[in-house]
A and B are shown apart, each in its own frame.
Chain A
């Protein structure tokens, strides 16, 4: 059961929400839709589900044109940002409801409900009502109800966004296991790059209704097709600085770096250079790193690490530093940067060179 979108467009009130998207999703595949808020993720999902009809383009399921087929007849399950459950039904009845509608035998329903509940770690809560559950447990129930149907198409629209971060972290860690070994096509929308990486599978990056890149998640992560993909697929966002290449790398007006091997084949000229915050450091980690003086704008402590926002010659950078570092605002700091980690984009923002994924052997 494969799903194919051919040149899908959707205009609402004169504004283009989805612009000429073509995409083929394979059976049993896991697909992440990554993009900023209002990039068109939810609209694209609604178009895939059949909740909305595209203005142009066709949708094919299994080679059959289903563009005009209403959502009821498409065997689609959906999980939303809000925790949507039937408030007067127990967790068990909530999960069983789609199977009862489908008219399955009682024993089959019981088996599948218990199996799904166990996989989502809510098997001890089956007799409770949704109002007696935490947010995380409510969303697990909603997910179990969507999963139990074994639908052709399972759509999840930022299901973790309304959870406290600790619950989000726990559920995120289980996701891969939850979606493993299913025949459904799973589409999962998120703004969080960590979720995309934790889920694996394939990633489609949307920007202003256009599909910018689609491929295996790690491939997209290591080779972002455009500056925008690099920006959304990095938390904190990738640092991108205008510069030049002429025998050496020049960042901004002042910083000069030796030319790393992966940029040697590029012609001289203007480029935009990107570097991930995790590849910057306030401590020197290797001989190849170049020191750049900067001033602290604000250190954000996440717990395990610190995102240090700094400014260097009117350019803002973010350094992702392991551990807790409470640097005073306005103080000076030395930022270490390895030219081998630079991404190069042309002035229009298209990727022209990416660093090799970090070589192994650095325990």
Chain B
């Protein structure tokens, strides 16, 4: 509501503008620049137009990775969101157990991402890992380094272990914001537990859930460190996701042009999805107001 009366305020924003310019805008421009040129060495470069973009879009391994990536994000959302809601609903709303629950839940979020990969790499190994030995001991020939399905399952379980807490914490905060009177009214109206969830909790969690979905989608779509450490993208390329492929292309093979085009497309996909979620959220907010 208040208009800035003090023009000097712009000076205070200047450092941030400069930092963002150097850390984001200029590198992005460089990437755009690279994506339109073929570079042999710093002196030798040719303008190639949209060739890299066409090449990237037609590259079968990138297409396959994109498919895997979408599938992965979809499964992650389908598991983590309902699971997160479920756990949040079963948590105590007040009392001495609240801080205990919150700390336990926060633990996976505090572990550095590559360490998560390492933990699971060892945990799931069939020879010395606790999980791997246990599953094999049950008579199931489990080996995530050899079997693509097992590798997928391991990556998924790891992601669920790592990130469901975030969904739980968000939902828990949303649930805490519902006044007691709503629950009391529902009890008086004779509503079943499911009806309480369906008609009180879910409508009031909408906003929080959209944020959770957005965050989990973006994060899972950009997943890199954990599967890289755990499976290295294998066996074969069965768990090679977009970011890993991109790194291989840019750093491993030094194909800067195609890598730049690839990362721009990658960036645009994420932007598109975020935009869709954002507009959905704003619409919902308006309908509520």
Contacts and interface: CB of A to CB of B under 8 A. Distances in A.
Check A-B contact in the complex, CB < 8 A.
yes
A68 B7 CA distance: 12
Interface centre among B2, B3, B6 (most CB of A within 10 A): B2
Nearest to A43: B1
Interface residues of A, number: 6
Contacts of B2: 51-52
A52 B5 CA distance: 9
Interface in A179-197: none
Contacts of B5: 53, 68, 70
B250 to A, nearest CB: 48
Interface string A46-66: 000001110000000000000
Interface string B1-43: 1110110000000000000000000000000000000000000
Interface string B214-228: 000000000000000
- Of B1, B2, B3, B5, which is in contact with the most chain A CB atoms at under 10 Å from its CB? B5
B6 A70 contact: yes
Interface string A27-57: 0000000000000000000000001110000
A202 B3 CA distance: 31
A52 B6 contact: no
Nearest to B6: A70
Contacts of A68: 5
A52 B3 CA distance: 7
A310 B1 CA distance: 45
Contacts of A52: 1-3
B95 to A, nearest CB: 23
A53 B3 CA distance: 8
Interface residues of B, number: 5
User: Which secondary structure dominates chain A's binding surface?
Assistant: loop
Interface in A136-193: none
Contacts of B6: 70
A234 B225 CA distance: 71
Interface in A270-290: none
Interface in A67-120: 68, 70
B282 to A, nearest CB: 16
A130 B3 CA distance: 32
Nearest to B1: A52
B273 to A, nearest CB: 31
Nearest to A51: B2
A91 to B, nearest CB: 30
Interface in A283-329: none
A214 B6 CA distance: 34
A68 B1 CA distance: 16
Interface in B32-75: none
B199 to A, nearest CB: 31
Contacts of B3: 52-53
Nearest to B5: A70
Contacts of B1: 12, 52
A12 B3 CA distance: 12
Contacts of A12: 1
Contacts of A53: 3, 5
Nearest to A53: B3
B12 to A, nearest CB: 16
A53 B1 CA distance: 10
A198 B1 CA distance: 34
B1 to A, nearest CB: 7
B5 to A, nearest CB: 5
Interface string A1-44: 00000000000100000000000000000000000000000000
A157 to B, nearest CB: 15
A51 B4 CA distance: 10
Nearest to A73: B5
Contacts of A51: 2
A52 B2 CA distance: 6
A52 B6 CA distance: 13
A179 to B, nearest CB: 28
A52 B1 CA distance: 8
A68 B3 CA distance: 11
A12 B1 CA distance: 9
Contacts of A70: 5-6
A118 to B, nearest CB: 36
B10 to A, nearest CB: 16
Interface in B173-193: none
Nearest to A70: B5
A57 to B, nearest CB: 15
A195 to B, nearest CB: 27
A68 B2 CA distance: 13
Nearest to B3: A53
Nearest to A12: B1
A148 B253 CA distance: 73
A12 B6 CA distance: 21
A47 to B, nearest CB: 12
Interface in A207-225: none
A229 B136 CA distance: 86
Nearest to A50: B5
Interface in B149-171: none
A220 to B, nearest CB: 30
A68 B6 CA distance: 10
B8 to A, nearest CB: 11
Given A51-B2, A52-B3, A68-B5, 7 more contacts: A12-B1, A52-B1, A52-B2, A53-B3, A53-B5, A70-B5, A70-B6
10 contacts: A12-B1, A51-B2, A52-B1, A52-B2, A52-B3, A53-B3, A53-B5, A68-B5, A70-B5, A70-B6
A-B complex: 5 closest residue pairs judged by Cβ atoms: A70-B5, A53-B3, A51-B2, A52-B2, A52-B1
Interface of B: 1-3, 5-6
Interface of A: 12, 51-53, 68, 70
